[in-house]
Amino acid sequence: MVKIISSSPGRVCLFGEDVDYMNLEVITVAINQRIKVIGKTNNSGKIRFSLVDLKEELTFKNEKQPLDKKRDYIRSVFNLFQEYLPEDFGADIEVTSNILIGKGISSSSAFCSALVGFFNEAANLNLPERELAWNAYLAEVINLGEPGGMMDQYASVFGEMLYLECRKPYNLERLRSKLEGIVIGDTLTKKETLQTITRRKGEINQGIRIMKESDNSFDLKSSSFDDVLQAYKEYNDIGLQRLVAIVGIRDVVRSGYHKMKNHELKPEEFAKLIGRHHYFQQNYFENVTQKMQDLIQIAKNSGSLGCKLLGSGNGGSFLAYSPGKEKIVAEAIKNGGGNAYVLKQDKGLEVITHNL
């Protein structure tokens, strides 16, 4: 019998909201808000979960589980590893977290990543990071039919600052940059991630169809921003409007990556890219609430160099990039009617095992 402690971070998407599920590139940074899955194995043949923060309990047998409930992350991850566990495998598992839920910093993906780390260790599989991240993606998105991409699971497993191409062969690179000045501004308004992403994907694909009707060679990865913007001006279609956002953000990601890779990105330039990213979210995705925009202005007036929406929008939180003025900006956001958290860049999935 062993005690397994699996811990995984939330993440901030620096550049690339909404482009990961369209198979484009993203840049993320892991943060020091984490979820912990702590369990002691036994020979009972039963897996018992205590979700401390939610005050919920869950028990099931060591056998493949039906996935008939939305967001049943525990059973979805367990099913991936069940055949590799001993027949009498059991465990008493406690889950705690200080990751903000529903605020665009990937609490659900961090949970799946931590669960993958736990069951990978319990099954003695020793999977490499890429496979751990892929299994977290399978469990959360593919097996449960959720509409997101793979950015969040890879960000949580790999940690630190990561560049990821969300298409085969899934090239990735750990960037050596160390980000300071992370302030998360919370609007205290709930967002509806799954419904928003599902609708948005449909609108984006509508825009792609329109582009292909006039130019069959249109390619989301390589066609120019100017061509999409011109088409939108001519047809004024909501699908093309969303496509302007996608292609605009795509180009922001690429510009940020090349500057970060070559250590050429100064704070003012970083802030400018953040602002451009937010411009596309606000004006072409139309997913920035007035309250968020008001809090962003407060943050800027207090010394933040640049701000952008986090996650799917229409509520939730935003990044206020505020190197050297983190506490001042956070306090201003709180005084303005929101909440705020000063965070640090952090490591990825960590699993520690103790023999009992």
| pLDDT tens-digit map of 138-171 | 999 999 998 788 999 999 999 999 999 999 999 9
CB neighbours (10 Å) of residue 58?
A: 14
182-343, which class in CATH? alpha beta
- Could you give the percent of the chain with pLDDT greater than 70? 99
Q: How do the domains of the chain map onto residue ranges?
A: 2-178+346-355, 182-343
Task: Assess whether pLDDT exceeds 80 at residue 191.
Answer: no
Q: pLDDT grade, residue 193 (50/70/90)?
A: low
Q: Could you tell me if 303 and 325 are in contact, meaning their C-beta atoms sit under 8 angstroms apart?
A: yes
Write the CATH number of the domain with boundaries 2-178+346-355. 3.30.230.10
Task: Assess whether pLDDT exceeds 90 at residue 346.
Answer: yes
Q: pLDDT grade, residue 195 (50/70/90)?
A: low
CA distance 242 to 174: 29
Q: What is the pLDDT of residue 104?
A: 80
Model pTM? 0.94
Mean pLDDT along residues 78-84: 98
Mean pLDDT along residues 252-275: 93
Q: Could you tell me if 150 and 138 are in contact, meaning their C-beta atoms sit under 8 angstroms apart?
A: no
CA distance 287 to 279: 11
Q: pLDDT grade, residue 254 (50/70/90)?
A: very high
Q: What is the pLDDT of residue 192?
A: 66
Rounded mean pLDDT of the chain?
95
CB neighbours (10 Å) of residue 285?
A: 24
- Could you give the percent of the chain with pLDDT greater than 90? 88
For 86-117, write each residue's pLDDT tens digit. 999 999 999 999 998 877 889 999 999 999 99
